[in-house]
Chains A and B, each alone.
Chain A
Amino acid sequence: MDHIFEKYALRKPENLIPLLQELQKENGYLTDEIVEKVSLHLHIPTNRIYGVATFYDQFRFRQRGLYHIQVCRGTSCYLCSSESYLKEIEKLLKVQAGSVTRDKRFSLETVNCMGGCSQSPVIRINDTYYHHLSVADLSEVLRIFREKTE
């Protein structure tokens, strides 16, 4: 991770958010150690870093699953009943939105908008998008992902 710290100059508070973003991209999530390191690097107290990191939706302090599922809850997706998809996934994987399955294979999250409103409802699993799925298709997709890890 040192190469990321090297990119950002010392003691510049405006580098806080980009630095955290890159560290999260590298590590997957933020840990207490990372926050302490950032604090020493930028000379910002850790409480302020936590203050900033918890304010923004992007930062997370928990590990994601191997497959990260994002269900869009934008206005257009809401109208196209994205909520029923969310419930279906919660039921199938036995996981609540915002958490990870026990075997760490899947994590589920709702997002405000992915910018694919014309294709709603949109679901994203890692880098693959799915749209206009029926509930049956959805369980099929999840089954394939589940088999991949077994």
Chain B
Amino acid sequence: MPAQDLTDNRVFLIEKVIKNYSGIFDKTTTDRLAMLRRDKVTRPVIYIGTGTCGIISGAKSTLGKVRNYLSENNIIADIIEVGCNGFCSAEPLLDIQLPGKTRLSFRNVTWDKAEDILNSSLNHTLLPDQVLGQYQQPGLEEWPNVQLLDQIPWFSLQRRCILKNAGIICPVSIEDYIVRGGYKPLYKTVLNYPADKICEIIEQSELRGRAGGGFPTGKKWKIALDTAGDQKYMICNADESDPGAFMDRAMIESDPHRVLEGIAIASYAIGASQAIIYVRSDYENSLNILEMAIRQAKDYGLLGENIFGSGFNLSVSIRQGAGAFVCGEETALVSSLEGQRGLPGSKPPYPAEKGLWGQPTVINNVETLANIPGILENGPAWFKTLGTKSSKGTKLFSVAGKSVSTGFIEVPMGTTFSAIINNIAGGVKDGKALKAVQLGGPSGVCIPPADLDTPIDFESLSEIGATLGLGGLIILDEKTCMVNLARYFMNFLQNESCGKCIPCREGTRMMLDILEGITKRPKEETTHETLERFKGVVQLESLAEVIRDTSLCGLGQNAPNPVLSSLKWFREEFEEHIFDRRCSAGVCHDLRTFFIDVEFCNGCNICQKKCPENAIIGSLKQPHFIIESKCTGCGICFDACKFSAIYFK
């Protein structure tokens, strides 16, 4: 695009679109907007999802293949890289929009399939295998026999407010965001309302922080606004250190300007002129996209000095988190920004009163901030129509683990777990039974099938002893060993404990030791060790209580959660491990007992040679046997057998 043209668009978008208060446009503006929104296209447009999930699935190779194909066949078409629409298990996603026809979406388009799909669809025919669905675009010719995207179970139950642009627009194009109503709420805010009015609007909307605690956002802002300080700070927490959650990453990669607008409005509301986005350094793609988005917003005069001539200044900078789970805690995040070790401090005083450099600081997570433009656009009353009595609005969840479909979704608060698992995610993979759902990261809880009809909101969850966390849902199937899972989480928390207070530092270590004792089988066990192991369950419970009650920060207080919740709902599994030394899921390697199936064993002798314990006997060309008392369950024979004659119980 020539430079002159770009400036034209810029002036047009600022003067005619953002500053158009009524929202009623004349004919030329409407036409030009439709053009920019790509409601109508004059040549084929190809969209490829290149969020991190797309890149992992191979979207970059698909992109290269598409470019090659177009240049080889002399086809003039636009290629647009979009974020992810949330249906990550269908990545790489490729959409095609032909002039006069609706936008059509294809799933799992790896590089080898790209050519066939382009070949057929550019000639107006379809290969039915890869088709995901088509967009609803009135006035355009529909593809015959193709369902609408909104009718696919993954999308049909969602209520997409903050995800409404995700996977549709180009994340690094500010025009795409503005033509869909973006930055108008910011304009309204800085021109019409004083700061305290914005805090009031957010308070009326009853928006609660989406990072786990659920503190009312409006109240937090009000505290920061009312506290005197030379320089106030707005911090957007995009550290997302929970393994298994990726909504913040996806949000930034798909619609970064919505987050930036949220940050700008929040900064205005608390009187901050400096905002910092704290992003995980592992999220390279998000970092690049955010940098580009900030540059564009500055170029458009939407960030920087004297925004919309109102005298409001805001500089936004990015800081990379250096990889510490504990920095998700507000006070630890602040010390990390000050260049210290990320150790949490005591609260109160809360950061809203005394945060970065002792100044009032508001820390909100990405999802909370992404909600702000919508609330100001549609009003707090609209926001309150969504959700339940105690929790308003929608919530993002990432769905991963053993479900048929995986990705991230947005549903109204109050949706039940079973609706998400069975209707949206399509149930458990390979027809297995569901064992539990893990919610809220390593310090979250496992929810058993009996509680899956609980509506997901802050109050109902606390009734069953769970916390919302960031919203990472992990689906566990029957082949999951809950004891091993608890050990995995404890290992993680023990590694990530910052070491400041003893209950957490030493307690997690002791809990891990107990869990490792349960899941391992030492070669020789003394009576004392057996006693220690038997005491395990009792000790786990009392240790957990001490850690929970005496730790300083959220990490320590919630560290026993995975163990306590598994103990509560899956106690028999712990007992099975301790008393019977058996893992029915077959996950704890040490507890497996191996057998040789005489039907399949032809006596090749390989297992006998490889067994480090000399536990296998048998002569050549005769079926072998394993001496149970000698077997340590290392599994070497199992891996070595070429005839699948060895099995375990």
Query: Hey, which bits of chain A sit against chain B, CB under 8 A?
Result: 13-18, 21, 44, 51-52, 55-59, 73-76, 78-79, 111-120, 122, 129, 131
Contacts and interface: CB of A to CB of B under 8 A. Distances in A.
B463 to A, nearest CB: 24
A119 B476 contact: no
A114 B283 CA distance: 7
B406 to A, nearest CB: 4
B329 to A, nearest CB: 14
26 contacts: A18-B320, A59-B322, A73-B243, A75-B243, A75-B472, A76-B401, A79-B402, A112-B241, A112-B323, A112-B492, A113-B241, A114-B56, A115-B240, A115-B280, A115-B283, A116-B56, A117-B243, A117-B400, A118-B53, A118-B398, A118-B400, A118-B406, A119-B56, A119-B57, A119-B91, A129-B56
Nearest to B320: A21
Contacts of B131: none
Contacts of B88: 118-119
B246 A115 contact: yes
B400 A76 contact: yes
A78 B481 CA distance: 12
B322 A56 contact: yes
Contacts of B489: 75
Most chain B CB atoms below 10 A, which of A21, A117, A118, A120? A118
Contact of B56 (A56, A58, A74, A131): A131
Interface in B418-472: 438, 441-442, 472
B249 interface: yes
A75 B476 CA distance: 10
Given A58-B322, A118-B246, A129-B56, 7 more contacts: A56-B342, A75-B442, A75-B488, A112-B243, A115-B246, A118-B88, A119-B57
Interface in B463-497: 472, 474, 476, 480, 485, 488-489, 492
Given A13-B338, A75-B438, A79-B402, A56 B53 contact: no
B322 A116 contact: no
A55 B340 CA distance: 9
- 7 closest Cβ pairs, A-B complex: A118-B88, A74-B243, A56-B322, A57-B323, A75-B244, A113-B243, A118-B406
A14 B278 CA distance: 14
Interface residues on B, range: 35 or more
Given A17-B336, A21-B322, A115-B282, A52 B398 contact: no
A131 B52 CA distance: 12
A45 to B, nearest CB: 13
Nearest to B326: A55
Contacts of A55: 324, 341-342, 498
Contacts of A112: 241, 243, 323, 325, 492
A17 B244 contact: no
B33 to A, nearest CB: 34
Contact of B339 (A14, A57, A76, A122): A14
B511 interface: no
B612 to A, nearest CB: 15
Contacts of A16: 339
Given A113-B282, A116-B52, A18 B319 contact: yes
Contact of A111 (B282, B336, B341, B399): B282
B406 A117 contact: yes
Contacts of B398: 117-118
Nearest to A131: B56
A74 B592 CA distance: 25
A17 B89 contact: no
Contacts of A117: 243-246, 398, 400-401, 406, 472
A122 B57 CA distance: 10
Nearest to B338: A14
Nearest to B343: A55
B80 interface: no
A79 B55 contact: no
B337 interface: yes
Interface string B327-360: 0000000001111111000000000000000000
A23 to B, nearest CB: 13
B641 to A, nearest CB: 15
Contacts of A18: 319-320
A59 B321 CA distance: 11
A55 B342 CA distance: 8
B244 A57 contact: no
A85 to B, nearest CB: 14
A16 B340 CA distance: 8
A68 B53 CA distance: 20
A66 B398 CA distance: 34
A120 B402 CA distance: 10
B441 to A, nearest CB: 8
B58 to A, nearest CB: 8
Contacts of B281: 21, 58
Contacts of A79: 401-402, 474, 476, 480
A44 B341 CA distance: 13
Nearest to B54: A119
B123 to A, nearest CB: 32
Contacts of B280: 115
Nearest to A119: B56
A83 to B, nearest CB: 9
B337 A14 contact: yes
A119 B340 CA distance: 35
A74 B246 CA distance: 11
B633 to A, nearest CB: 15
A101 to B, nearest CB: 23
A16 to B, nearest CB: 4
B167 interface: no
Nearest to A81: B587
B407 interface: yes
Given A21-B320, A117-B246, A52 B340 contact: yes
Nearest to A73: B243
A75 B474 contact: yes
B574 to A, nearest CB: 19
Given A115-B240, A116-B52, A13 B282 contact: no
A57 B322 CA distance: 7
Nearest to A59: B322
Interface in B46-73: 52-53, 55-57
B499 to A, nearest CB: 9
Nearest to B57: A119
A119 B244 contact: no
Contacts of B323: 56-58, 112
A133 to B, nearest CB: 12
Contacts of A58: 281, 322-323
